[in-house]
Chains A and B, each alone.
Chain A
């Protein structure tokens, strides 16, 4: 069941041109070009090993391509360190959950507010004035995110004790706490059952609708992709083989061949 999204999709916010990425002798991505528009939900799909995670890492800035450029908000992006990446307004979740096991849900999501903390450790040690106000303000934002993702009941639970699906939601919460302009989701539905997937879809859509966050996601579940994305990019063996609306991509013979093999 396709839904028509009534949001206003904006201008191109992110543009990949001719991206090629290799590790040693292995070429992960070859000459990939596509763009992402503001406020849209863009899916990256493809068979296993197609280079989807690598593509996400290039968008994030973790990998710097040997060829090609990434243009973000009109400026060609140079090599950045991780701090700059985080400050650029792009937040992400990880394929294998990367939560901080020794902390509670609340603390984990609070780490998402790290970049907004301007006070230094001495002020933290004294816990008065500016530091106290800042902590309370950050707590307020985090509580709103927890409310949004319905995680209030587990806020003080150590994350290591939570079930898999809840952990994934906490990771999403942590990313949202940073108030990003672009959210990168690496297989957010992986390992979930039908109900959990429906919940997660709802959260992703809500995030997009309520906060206007641009979302780029990697996903294997075709139903999810077709349902919630505005546009889809299809990768296979590191090359782009499809780009367009879900319906266009679904009927693309190259895409069908890649997934189902010749002769269908």
Chain B
């Protein structure tokens, strides 16, 4: 039982981190209807830039982070201006494929500037079990995992408030619903999109720092972000609570499956389990837990 709880908690904590990455996708999709496949590349780029800057300038990652943030915001704005604005009228699949192209571009760029070696990212929080919990219940939960989850939770809550309670958040939702109508009521479209991409860049940075610190800053980081896809499928592409719930489910189920089913089939289940789970889920509920039901008529 104790072991089960450990795995479960570990999974849930990882799930919170997935949620954070997923929110980057949700933000952009909510505001511009674009599924930004490049979010993963942005996470990678943010982490790599932080580490690179930190090494180059000899400063701690915490200080390098704001610089990386600036870079990410610029990347986001440039994307909006040079890629998305040109493809506004196109089919959503076309936009999706453009973000796939963007993924490759950003990955190549990041590695070209900072090199392709695996880097360690030291944030100062150790990956050790929390002592008092260990003493009291014997359950081992990593300090780092807990801290990371905490940071993510705060950020998720902030984003939720941002969307629902602030003027800009409302404007964002209006833009997501109907561009023309939003324009008609005077919402400055490009300004809003700029904000959206900047926030997405910020999310990518936090996610990059946390995941990079956990797993090392390397190309495989982009696959972590890809895992956010099943999260989105479960939770719907436009819902913040959906992303939260989806993240927790994916995080927990992935870990549990790997630990309990994995040994029976040779391991490596983590690679595909979330995707298959999402697929099965889609068959039952094509719009996800909280997604908007799509009605099509002729």
Direct chain A–B contact by Cβ atoms under 8 Å: yes
Residues on A with C-beta less than 8 A from B298 are: 94, 96, 98
Contacting residues of chain B (243-298) with chain A, CB-CB under 8 angstroms:
298
Residues on B with C-beta less than 8 A from A98 are: 298
Q: Count A-side interface residues using an 8 Å CB cutoff.
A: 3
Q: How far is it, in angstroms, between the C-alpha of A94 and the C-alpha of B297 when the chains are bound? A: 11
Q: How far is it, in angstroms, between the C-alpha of A96 and the C-alpha of B298 when the chains are bound? A: 7
Binary CB contact string for chain A from 63 to 98 against chain B (1 if under 8 A, 0 otherwise): 000000000000000000000000000000010101
Q: How far is it, in angstroms, between the C-alpha of A94 and the C-alpha of B298 when the chains are bound? A: 7
Q: How far is it, in angstroms, between the C-alpha of A98 and the C-alpha of B296 when the chains are bound? A: 13
Residues on B with C-beta less than 8 A from A94 are: 298
Q: How far is it, in angstroms, between the C-alpha of A242 and the C-alpha of B244 when the chains are bound? A: 56
Contacting residues of chain A (92-109) with chain B, CB-CB under 8 angstroms:
94, 96, 98
Contacting residues of chain A (104-155) with chain B, CB-CB under 8 angstroms:
none
Contacting residues of chain A (213-245) with chain B, CB-CB under 8 angstroms:
none
Residues on B with C-beta less than 8 A from A96 are: 298
Q: How far is it, in angstroms, between the C-alpha of A106 and the C-alpha of B120 when the chains are bound? A: 62
CB distance from A28 to the nearest CB of B (A): 13
Q: Which residue of B lies closest to A62 (CB)?
A: B298
CB distance from B265 to the nearest CB of A (A): 37
Q: How far is it, in angstroms, between the C-alpha of A34 and the C-alpha of B298 when the chains are bound? A: 25
Q: How far is it, in angstroms, between the C-alpha of A98 and the C-alpha of B298 when the chains are bound? A: 7
Contacting residues of chain B (55-98) with chain A, CB-CB under 8 angstroms:
none
Binary CB contact string for chain B from 145 to 176 against chain A (1 if under 8 A, 0 otherwise): 00000000000000000000000000000000
Q: How far is it, in angstroms, between the C-alpha of A96 and the C-alpha of B296 when the chains are bound? A: 13
CB distance from B93 to the nearest CB of A (A): 13
Q: Which residue of B lies closest to A95 (CB)?
A: B298
CB distance from A82 to the nearest CB of B (A): 11
CB distance from A185 to the nearest CB of B (A): 14
Q: Which residue of B lies closest to A92 (CB)?
A: B298
Contacting residues of chain A (167-191) with chain B, CB-CB under 8 angstroms:
none
CB distance from A257 to the nearest CB of B (A): 31
CB distance from B24 to the nearest CB of A (A): 33
CB distance from B109 to the nearest CB of A (A): 34
Q: Which residue of B lies closest to A97 (CB)?
A: B298
Q: How far is it, in angstroms, between the C-alpha of A167 and the C-alpha of B144 when the chains are bound? A: 63
CB distance from B158 to the nearest CB of A (A): 37
List the 3 closest pairs (A to B, CB-CB), nearest first: A98-B298, A94-B298, A96-B298
Give me 3 A-to-B residue pairs in the complex whose CB atoms sit less than 8 angstroms apart, sorted by A's number.
A94-B298, A96-B298, A98-B298
